Amino acid sequence: MHVVAPKGLSGGLCMFWKVAHHVVLVKYANFLIEVGVHDIMHNSTWQFYMVFASTDDGV
């Protein structure tokens, strides 16, 4: 699990994953979590990006 704490009134970000995947945190910021994922069962690796993009120009 990785958590990005809330900023102001925003709710923050949280990411969970299953044990069958080896997950490495690459980068995080106020509105982004980037991880590298290795699927042990299929022996494949990929990047995963979680982005929160508000429609409110004030954020």
Quick: pLDDT tens for 4-50: 776 766 677 888 877 777 889 899 887 888 999 988 888 899 999 98
Within-domain flag for 29: yes
Would you state the pLDDT for residue 2? 67
Structural domain of 8: 2-51
Closest C-alpha among 53, 8, 47 to residue 27:
47
Q: Which has more pLDDT, 1 or 39?
A: 39
Q: Which has more pLDDT, 26 or 58?
A: 26
Q: How many domains does the chain have?
A: 1
Within-domain flag for 22: yes
3-state helix, strand, coil in the chain (%, to 5): 0, 55, 45
Residue 55, pLDDT above cutoff 80: no
Within-domain flag for 15: yes
Within-domain flag for 30: yes
Q: Which has more pLDDT, 55 or 27?
A: 27
- 49 neighbors 34 (Cβ within 8 angstroms): yes
Cα–Cα dist 50/29, whole Å:
10
